[in-house]
Structures are given as C-alpha cells and as structure tokens.
C-alpha cells in the first residue's frame, strides 16, 4: 500500500510542476522537481528546496513559499473553503477504511481468545 500512496503522490505532483533530470547536492537523487507556483527547484526525496528564497518581501513566488516541498504539496491538495474541505475529507476516506479493518481484526482476535 505504501508504494501505491507514493505513486499517487508523485502522479499528483505532475499537476503542480515537472520532473527533470538533475542532481541533488544533498542526497544525489537524479530526479528533481520544478514547482511552477513557486518558480523553484526541489528534491522530493530529501524534501528540500534547492534554491533559497529571495530577499524581496513582495516577490510573488518566494513570499508565500512553505519551508518544504512536502508542505507545498499538502497545501495544494487541501481546499481552503469549508464546503470543498468537507468534500475532500469525504472522498479521501482511506484512513477510515484502514481503521475499520484494524478494529475488525482486533475484535475477531478477542472473540477467538474468549471461545
């Protein structure tokens, strides 16, 4: 399941930028990510921006850039108005499904012990 979630995350990234061949100076990853909204390069494997923020407080790209690319992707995925946020939570119910399965396994285990 972990690989599927990772695949979905990288697939969603393509809506916000492009992957290209490069070399991360921190981890040596050869697949870097260019983020359109923040006009910056990032390594998603080590979760670092490769370009520092500029010193201009009115810069449309750097002024609102989060500390890490992972935070930027999370902010892109979560809607900001209440109705859209409720719809997003309703559609993304994987955590509820996993919790239900975990509780059912625990219930079955205790029923087997008490027999």
- Residue pLDDT, tens place only, 27-39: 887 788 888 888 8
Q: Are residues 20 and 45 in the same domain?
A: yes
Look at the chain and report how many structural domains it folds into.
2
Residue 42 shares a structural domain with residue 73 = yes
Residues 6+ apart with CB under 8 A from 40: 34, 49, 50, 51, 61, 62, 65
SS3 59: coil
pLDDT digits (tens, 9 = 90+) for 64-102: 888 888 888 777 776 667 777 777 777 766 666 777 788
Q: Does 72 share its domain with 33? A: yes
CA distance 11 to 19: 11
* pTM for the full predicted model: 0.56
Task: Give the domain extent around 49.
Answer: 1-77
Same-domain status, 42 and 67 = yes
């Amino acid at each position: 399941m972990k690989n599927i979630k990772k695949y979905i995350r990288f697939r969603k990234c393509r809506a916000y930028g492009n992957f290209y061949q490069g070399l991360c100076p921190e981890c040596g990853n050869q697949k870097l990510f260019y983020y359109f909204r923040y006009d910056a390069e990032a390594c998603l494997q080590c979760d670092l921006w490769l370009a520092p923020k500029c010193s201009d407080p009115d810069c449309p790209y750097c002024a609102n850039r989060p500390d890490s690319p992972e935070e930027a992707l999370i902010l892109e995925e979560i809607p900001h108005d209440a109705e859209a946020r409720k719809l997003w939570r309703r559609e993304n119910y994987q955590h509820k499904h996993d919790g239900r399965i975990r509780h059912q396994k625990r219930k079955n285990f205790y029923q087997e012990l008490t027999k």
